[in-house]
Amino acid sequence: MKSRVDPATLEIVRGALVASANEMAMVLSRTAYNTMIFEVQDYCIGVIDPAGRLIAQNSGGLPIFLADMGVAVRDGIEKYGLSGFEPGDAIIMNAPYICGQHLNNMVVYSPCFVGERLVAFPAVRAHWLDVGGSRVGFGSVETTEIYQEGLQLRSIKIYRGGKLDENIWQIISDNIRFPESSLGDLRAQLAACRLGERRLKELFERYGVDTVNVCIEEMWNQSERLARAAVAAIPDGEYTAESYLDNDGQELDKTVPVKVTVRVRGEEMEVDFSEVAEHVRGPINCGPSGGIAAARVAFKALTLPSQPVDEGCFRPLKVVLPPGKFLSAGPPAPLGLWSIPLPTVIDTVLAALAPAVPERIPAAHKGEMGGFAIYGKDEASGRRYVCLNMTGGGWGGRPRGDGPNAAVSICQGDVRNTPIELLEARYPLFFDYFSLRPDSGGAGRFRGGLGVELAVRARYPAAVNFNIERTKCPPWGLWGGRPGTVGEARVERASGLPGESVTKRTRYPIVPEDRVVFLTAGGGGWGDPLEREPEAVARDVRGGYISSGEAADYGVVLDPATGEVNLKATETLRARLRRERKK
């Protein structure tokens, strides 16, 4: 295990690199101007080497932003050449088919020099509230080509040698809604990059550029060794699973298949997306780096869930992704909802591996992002507003316990919902209830977690973007567990008109009397419901997590007066249900 560098220095450099990324994240999140950054944490900080490889990433932030900023920086390196950067430069980048994501995700990075030598690029990706185009907020399913989705900025130097290019600033300012918000975010991103430059420079100077570079190489090697050992523990084989998305938002009756093959050979894993759907007309496509990120999230969860993220973690992973799939779309495919399919893709990769490592794979989770957008004009202040929020849903039952209730998707990590009090203080909205959704968790020996229900009204006429997914392919159970209840949205008309169930709609108009209800999915169950501890079923009924009617699905009979388990009647019922199954 002897390495080329003193192990204490290596550990100190590793800690300092992650700390510099975390410090940049603090500056960004505390000074950003939109909830997508400070509440939803829709951002990512990376330290990229001069070859475009990820040295370190901030802890926290969105899981789906996994070691995928290197491609953005690499494009700039190719465009300008390493000698084409000078101190004080800052580059802005959102080229869709390189970054793989919607145009709102703006990358800003800058070169860090030690003397004449370019040693690294601190980089910040953040979700801007608006980048122009036809969409307001998020969740629009209307776009069919990228030009409708806003401003494209491919590796543009917004600062040259410390001097702002006012023309570019103005082009951005003139072409987006809420420029004070997005330009505020841009300032925060720039400040974070400048801070990163200082911190990295201190580190490289302190230990010497060559020593730090040796440490970085060794960090990658160590991460690689750990990942290889984790893959080696998974039995070799070829594993397949299949699921599908409801539609692309355009052709509503056409599902989008997600078929994944995972090959494990010794210390290496291959995730093969060759059989997923071709790119689609609606905006749920992503570029290849989005598809790769999805495979990486599943891989990371199975190999090194608590290890800091760097380039080495993914060396044993190969992703097969031919061009032109909906996970590897090219121009001019729309990418506005690029991340919506990814929880499903990740769940499908995990499902494929369930037979290989049954003790490590939960049943499917809610499988969508739980986001909505409500926008309009606050007639009291005269200002336009966009309210974006995320809600949790049920996670799948696990080999060792029930699935958690009301948690954000596998792509979202430390993403938080926004407090009701804060939403009502900031926007002209009024919430009627926000509660768990009883009976939504799939039955199983270990029950799926519950989704949530949220009911909201607008004080003035407003518009809503709905984006409900996975209503046709519910969160599946494993090993006899039942699927969770699917998500739903309803508009209830107080005017007496019949309400409407809505899945995907953009700019749906509502008036103050209307009530919009969002219901998120529950998780799938794990294992046979008839094997659930009867006492756990009684506890669920007492807590209102399941109704007493649902208890019968578990073959559990409760005393109607006390709510206690009637063990004898339960045994009889379970025996009968087992017999009936065999028929």
Contacts of other proteins in 311-330 (CB under 8 A) = none
Q: Which of 194, 445, 470, 504 binds other proteins (CB under 8 A)?
A: 194
Q: How many residues bind other proteins (CB under 8 A)?
A: 92
- Contact of 271 with 300, CB cutoff 8 Å: no
**Of 46-54, 147-155, 284-292, 405-413: span binding other proteins (CB under 8 A):** 405-413
Q: Which of 361, 387, 388, 546 binds other proteins (CB under 8 A)?
A: 361
Q: Which of 102, 125, 398, 515 binds other proteins (CB under 8 A)?
A: 398
Structure tokens at 99: 């970054």
- Contact of 132 with 68, CB cutoff 8 Å: no
- Contact of 125 with 176, CB cutoff 8 Å: no
CB of 430 to other proteins, least distance (A): 7
- Contact of 77 with 103, CB cutoff 8 Å: no
Residue 190, classed as helix, strand or coil, is: helix
Q: Which of 25, 32, 67, 286 binds other proteins (CB under 8 A)?
A: 32
Q: Which of 348, 412, 467, 570 binds other proteins (CB under 8 A)?
A: 412
Q: Which of 419, 511, 572, 576 binds other proteins (CB under 8 A)?
A: 419
CB of 305 to other proteins, least distance (A): 4
CB of 11 to other proteins, least distance (A): 5
**Of 168-176, 287-295, 404-412, 501-509: span binding other proteins (CB under 8 A):** 404-412
Q: Binding of other proteins at residue 431 (CB under 8 A)?
A: yes
Residues 503-542 within binding reach of other proteins (CB under 8 A): 542
**Of 67-75, 165-173, 283-291, 430-438: span binding other proteins (CB under 8 A):** 430-438
Strand order across the 429-436 sheet: 429-436, 452-458, 514-519, 488-493, 500-502
**Residues paired with 518 in a beta bridge:** 454, 489
Q: Which residue, among 420, 416, 436, 422, has the nearest Cα to 522 in the 3D structure? A: 436
Chain centre to alpha carbon of residue 1: 37
Q: Binding of other proteins at residue 544 (CB under 8 A)?
A: yes
Q: Binding of other proteins at residue 565 (CB under 8 A)?
A: no
- Three-state SS letters, 225-258: HHHHHHHHCCCCEEEEEEEEECCCCCCCCCCEEE
CB of 6 to other proteins, least distance (A): 7
Nearer to other proteins, 108 or 530 (CB): 108
Q: Binding of other proteins at residue 191 (CB under 8 A)?
A: yes
**Of 11-19, 80-88, 259-267, 280-288: span binding other proteins (CB under 8 A):** 11-19
Tell me the C-alpha distance between 68 and 173, whole Å: 27
Side chain identity at 446, as an amino acid letter?
F
Axis crossing angle, helix 166-175 with helix 179-207, rounded to the nearest 10: 140
Residues 248-267 within binding reach of other proteins (CB under 8 A): none
Residues 469-498 within binding reach of other proteins (CB under 8 A): none
Q: Which of 34, 144, 155, 247 binds other proteins (CB under 8 A)?
A: 34
Q: Which residue, among 543, 547, 550, 410, has the nearest Cα to 475 in the 3D structure? A: 410
Site string for other proteins, 41-80 (x = CB under 8 A): -------------------xx-x-----------------
Angle at 131 between CA 330 and CA 324, to 5 degrees: 10
Tell me the C-alpha distance between 26 and 256, whole Å: 39
Residue with tokens 């169930």: 501
Nearer to other proteins, 157 or 194 (CB): 194
Side chain identity at 136, as an amino acid letter?
V
Q: Binding of other proteins at residue 406 (CB under 8 A)?
A: yes
Q: Where are the extended beta strands (E) located within 346-497?
A: 371-378, 383-390, 429-436, 452-458, 462-467, 488-493
Axis crossing angle, helix 209-232 with helix 179-207, rounded to the nearest 10: 100
Tell me the C-alpha distance between 462 and 113, whole Å: 50
Q: Which of 4, 15, 331, 501 binds other proteins (CB under 8 A)?
A: 15
Q: Binding of other proteins at residue 432 (CB under 8 A)?
A: yes
Rg (alpha carbons) of the chain, rounded to whole number: 25
Site string for other proteins, 336-355 (x = CB under 8 A): --------------x-----
**Of 176-184, 283-291, 327-335, 471-479: span binding other proteins (CB under 8 A):** 176-184
Site string for other proteins, 216-255 (x = CB under 8 A): -----xxx-xx--x--------------------------
Tell me the C-alpha distance between 490 and 545, whole Å: 22
**Of 102-110, 155-163, 238-246, 415-423: span binding other proteins (CB under 8 A):** 415-423
Residues 436-455 within binding reach of other proteins (CB under 8 A): 436, 452, 455
Nearer to other proteins, 61 or 524 (CB): 61
- Contact of 473 with 513, CB cutoff 8 Å: no
